A and B are shown apart, each in its own frame.
Chain A
Amino acid sequence: MNSTDRTVPVDNYLTAGEPGLAGWLCTHDHKRIGILYAIGITFFFFLGGIAATLIRLNLIVPAGALMSAETYNKAFTFHGVVMVWFFLIPSIPATLGNFLLPLMIGARDVAFPRLNLFSWYLYVGGGLFTIGALLLGGVDTGWTFYTPFSTMFSNTHVVLAVIGVFVVGFSSILTGLNFIVTVHTMRTVGMHWFRLPLFVWALYATSLVMVLATPVLAMTLSLIALERLFGVGIFDPALGGDPLLFQHFFWFYSHPAVYIMILPAMGVASELITCGVRRRIFGYRFMAWSMMAIAVIGFMVWGHHMFVAGQSMYAGIVFSILSFVVAVPSAIKVFNWVATLHKGTIDFHAPMLYALGFVGLFMLGGLTGLFLAATALDVNLTDTYFVVAHFHYIMVGGSVMAYLGGIHYWWPKITGRLYPEGPARFAAILMFFGFNLTFFPQYLLGYLGMPRRYHAYPEPFQWLNVLSSAGASILAASYLMPLCYLGWSLWRGAAAGPNPWRATGLEWTTTSPPPVHNFPLPPVVNEGPYQYCP
């Protein structure tokens, strides 16, 4: 990795495709579409981040420093909606997945390139609706849109926000559909199912969840909109409808949705870890099957979000047991990562640091999930900051760490240039500390009984909130850093060459950046993945 050459191959997808803005906005190249997504997603991460900053600033003093209760509600709703649907769900699949999936299976493109571009436009369109809702005054229901508040009582722009999420949901369905078909029909000669890289397995499992869960959300949101507009009474208790039904539908999507966020991250982590220790991943088949198991069992545990919502005791017990079951394949994955690392010589480059951060934070988040899955504990912890900490550990600590790790790892492939290692390592370590400082206090807050979604709180909770807000500013700095040094490397970075990590995998056999149709000749595969020889 010490070449100082700055010349990158000329014939690549950045230079050889159609030039200019139109060339990008009308492209069918999966690699360019991946980059379009990356730009959109970064933008929304920034918007969601602003809302998060406002929330954390507000909570520095017990009385609520900044906002009225209504504004606070709008801030956390906007934060949740944007972060979940416009950042976490599309982040890894739509950017890294789009860019890498065809490369990794030796295909020229995804199966339906035009549909792929259309998905991006849906993403942008959905985003405009959501931003529109914000500009017109915001929404105060929380990202969960619980009825009957969202249908009868809230006098904010629920319909607009719901349309935004509906539209972006179709973007996610179409991406999933495209990936499923691509993996089934576009694998190159010799690329059997059990020679697929784990990241491809992860994308495949994720796509199944996207395709089978998102329509439920879409229809549920349509019903909310119809209920507000026409008084359709399906969830409205005043008309004899059933608000619990809404929660069942919502979580039937949204629990699997957390796996849409974490499965791709698991795939990325697997790639980074094997490359970083230069060894075959321990238990490849277990890793692949456990991802499929998570995708399937993930559909059966939604009721653990409703332990206190009034479902029957027996349903609660069943959902509790199933939630423990779904933790098993996740644990298998952690064991296999640790086994892969065990006694290896670990190269602590930035992607590896991110991957290790991911494993650590995911473990802590997952273990506290077990606390919540135990009904007796959950009754106390539900709707407190304990839950907030739990899902931030998994989603921000897990998914975002893995996303950034993946961006660093594949950056040379995407741009053809190396990023500077020093600042990258520093940012990764800073992020880990900033993250723990932000969210660990929230476990304690929740355990002590601070409820979520309140804009003010009693005096004794203050010092933990101040710690959390301080951590959030460190975290923010660590998120801004990659933007700077990665941007810098676009112009000044050394040329990467096809395979700067000496990694295995088809994506590293083509030039960096790859040519328009990925490979000069379709590659032939005759061995499984990760055949590292140190």
Chain B
Amino acid sequence: MSEASTPLLANRAIQFDDDAQQRESSVLGMWVFIATEVLFFGVLFVGYTVARVQFPRAFADGGARTDLLLGSIETGILLISSCLAALAVRDVRFGACRMASWLLAGTALLGVTFLVLHGIEYHAEYEEALIPGMRYHPSGHPARAMMIFFCLYYVITGFHSLHVAIGVALLSRLAWKASRGAFSSDYFAPVEVTALYWHLVDIVWIFVYPLVYLVGRSA
């Protein structure tokens, strides 16, 4: 067997010939996955666009009732967290590995903060009766169309938050592994791949933020 002749590193799966091939595969895999995610969210954005073109007024009314301040803080948090994730990759990649664990933990923590702030928003909206299917008090012009706005708002932010939650779990696990010295400049693909995922989560939000929080205010 050929594996017998080449020393087998603990981190390399049997099907790969060398570390470079393994790293290339996991990064490409994540890019393909990101492409699927873009289409996944793409459906929601197309749905949003179609409905908004049809009911500009109701969407403006709905948008005006979202919490601009919290939304902006959340945007800031995600941007900072993406930055920390990138620094973590840089840290392991150049073999320093001193900060990586803290940077990853910080990223995860910002993710949790994001979720908490969103929870606060949802709660306020519940009080105001803006959650279709749970507690909804019709308003806006026309009222039915504003409800579509809120449906889309919950579906979009809901799926996005699900992605954030998954990311937090992945990042926490990595932070723990990094603290035990699992990564080095030879082996950092998991950090790189997870950071890519986290950037996707961030970028999706960059589209959500103007669609949900800003358009209503422009009119």
Contact = CB atoms under 8 A, between A and B. Distances in A.
Instruction: Tell me whether chain A's interface is mostly helix, strand or loop, or mixed.
Output: helix
B29 A219 contact: no
B133 A232 contact: yes
A368 to B, nearest CB: 31
Contacts, number: 120
A177 B15 contact: no
Interface stretch (A105-113, A261-269, A425-433, A437-445): A105-113
Nearest to B136: A231
Contacts of A216: 39-40, 42-43
Contacts of A240: 51, 54-55, 142, 144-145, 147-148
B133 A231 contact: yes
B47 interface: yes
Given A211-B32, A219-B43, A240-B144, A522 B133 contact: no
B140 to A, nearest CB: 11
Interface in A196-240: 211-216, 218-220, 222-223, 226, 229-234, 239-240
Contacts of B113: none
Contacts of B144: 233, 239-240
B151 A212 contact: no
B151 A234 contact: yes
Contact of B44 (A109, A110, A178, A219): A219
Contact of A234 (B1, B3, B15, B148): B148
Contacts of B39: 212-213, 215-216
A162 interface: no
Contact count band on B: 35 or more
A122 to B, nearest CB: 14
A315 B133 CA distance: 35
By size class, the interface of chain A is: 35 or more
A216 to B, nearest CB: 5
Interface stretch (A179-187, A278-286, A318-326): A179-187
Contacts of B16: 186
A177 B34 CA distance: 11
B88 to A, nearest CB: 23
A347 to B, nearest CB: 36
Given A216-B42, A223-B155, A517 B32 contact: no
B36 interface: yes
B132 interface: yes
A521 interface: yes
Given A181-B28, A239-B148, A520 B1 contact: yes
B218 interface: no
Contacts of A25: none
Contact of B151 (A110, A111, A233): A233
B116 interface: no
Nearest to B33: A177
A226 B35 CA distance: 24
Interface centre among B44, B47, B155 (most CB of A within 10 A): B47
B147 A239 contact: yes
Interface stretch (B17-25, B184-192, B201-209): B17-25
A107 B15 contact: yes
A522 B16 CA distance: 11
Interface of B: 1-3, 13-17, 21, 24-25, 28-29, 32-33, 35-37, 39-44, 46-47, 50-51, 54-55, 132-134, 142, 144-145, 147-148, 151-152, 154-155, 159
Given A233-B147, A517-B1, 16 more contacts: A109-B14, A111-B15, A111-B25, A113-B15, A177-B33, A181-B28, A181-B32, A184-B24, A212-B35, A219-B40, A223-B43, A233-B151, A239-B144, A240-B142, A242-B54, A517-B15
9 contacts: A111-B15, A213-B39, A216-B43, A219-B40, A219-B44, A232-B132, A233-B132, A239-B144, A520-B2
